[in-house]
Structure 1
Amino acid sequence: MVYLEEKWPERSIYPSDPVDRQRCALLEDWADESLTGPAHWAVWCRGDDAPQKLLGQIADEHPTSGSRLQLAIKSRMLPMIFNMLVAKRRGGPEATARYFESQLDMLAGLLAHQPFLFGDEPTAADFAVVGQLANGLDFPGGKAVLEREHLTRMVRALLAYIQ
């Protein structure tokens, strides 16, 4: 992102105001971190043997053991295992769905009076959020995305903007 921002500063996807720029980075990180936990639950926590299946993907006995592929899988899967355990501590799919919906409510509140998080133009935070909303349709409670008018309006506005 830094490279793109330096190469084409006139087409920045970050706000020009320094405070809003930092807020944008925080919201982008929030989308990537807080909205993905339910996704990890939905993908990796189905069935009683889910932890074993997931650990099997990163175990040293796996056919890809020692390969770059296995190292890449490990670097992605270990946070997923953590999120899976956190989701189980939260109380399973129902609690995970409630958590996801609470995050959607917060996001919808930010979009109540404007099409994008920082006004009339999309930013990196909007792109990060929309990506998670699209994935979120498969999360526990994912249908809640479609039930929030401000969120669907944001998705439509972003699609119109990029076309």
Structure 2
Amino acid sequence: MPTVVLHQWERSPFCGKVRKVLRHKRIDFSVVNYNGVLGRQATRLSPAGQLPVVDFDGERVQDSSEIVIFLERRVPEFPVVPPKPDHRAHALLLEDWADESLYWYLMASLLMGDASALAEHINMLCSGRLAWERIPVGFVVRRMYKQKLKAQGLGRLSPSCVQNRLCAHFGLLETLLKEGPWLVGESKSIADIAVSAQIDGMMRISPTSSRVLEYPHLTEWLARCA
């Protein structure tokens, strides 16, 4: 069996995506968490300076999508990329949509949702710091997230508009899931894993979590993707 270590920030949906792939492929792994001040060490793990990073028998891979490709090649059992070309294209497009679009709705939900979810998020970022540091760190984090969301575009919209747009996406997923148990084909794929990893984060945020529960097929699918 290979020795596999996942370097992660446990609340990151991209790290959650990699955990789901590792579990799906029955790969035993250990984790190193970089919450709080340990996050400074994460920048030295890879040229990108971001998590997730996986060490696989001494070989280091960064970026969640690159890690998935690597794991498919090294451990082909229990694949997450469909073999049929049309299913593969569909699954990879949904993975990219989750990573590059749905992620921003998660960030917007975090900033525009209930204050307790954002406070908990900031507390994890401040793990290991002195108590007095939490206030300035929280201020910096909120400002940084707001600036990023404003540059992306969602930060220029009202919270109700963002929620309505997000629910429109939930409705599209609900429609897809009425046709079968998985987003692509007849088995779980990277599409299910990537999309569910983003929505898992939203389930910690009110009112977004309650909106998800309005869609029965989506709710049942999330349970299958756990």
TM-score (norm 2): 0.52
Aligned to 2:50: none
- Relative to its length, the structure with more helix (as a share) is 1
Q: Is contact 1:13–1:124 with CA below 8 Å preserved after alignment?
A: yes
**Aligned ranges for residues 83-102 of structure 1 at < 5 Å?**
83-85=149-151, 86-90=153-157, 92-102=158-168
1:114 and 2:198 equivalent? Answer: no
- Relative to its length, the structure with more strand (as a share) is 2
Percent sequence identity over aligned pairs: 28
Residues 1:81 and 1:140: Cα distance change in structure 2 (over 3 Å): farther
Q: Is contact 2:109–2:202 with CA below 8 Å preserved after alignment?
A: no
Q: Taking CA–CA contacts closer than 8 Å with sequence separation of 6 or more, which of the two structures ends up with the larger relative contact order?
A: 1
| Alpha-carbon distance, 1:142 to partner | 3.4
1:3 and 2:87 equivalent? Answer: no
| One-letter code aligned to 1:97 | Q
- Structure 2 gaps of 5+ residues are 1-67, 116-135
Aligned to 1:17: 84
Residues 1:88 and 1:2: Cα distance change in structure 2 (over 3 Å): closer
Q: Is contact 2:81–2:91 with CA below 8 Å preserved after alignment?
A: yes
| Alpha-carbon distance, 1:31 to partner | 1.3
Alignment counterpart, residue 191 of structure 2, candidates 125, 128, 133: 125
Partner Cα separation in structure 1 for residue 150 and residue 79 of structure 2: 35
Aligned residues: 136
Q: Is contact 1:38–1:140 with CA below 8 Å preserved after alignment?
A: no
Paired residue secondary structure (1:6): helix
| One-letter code aligned to 1:148 | Y
- Structure 1 gaps of 5+ residues are 60-76
| One-letter code aligned to 2:214 | E
Aligned to 2:225: 158
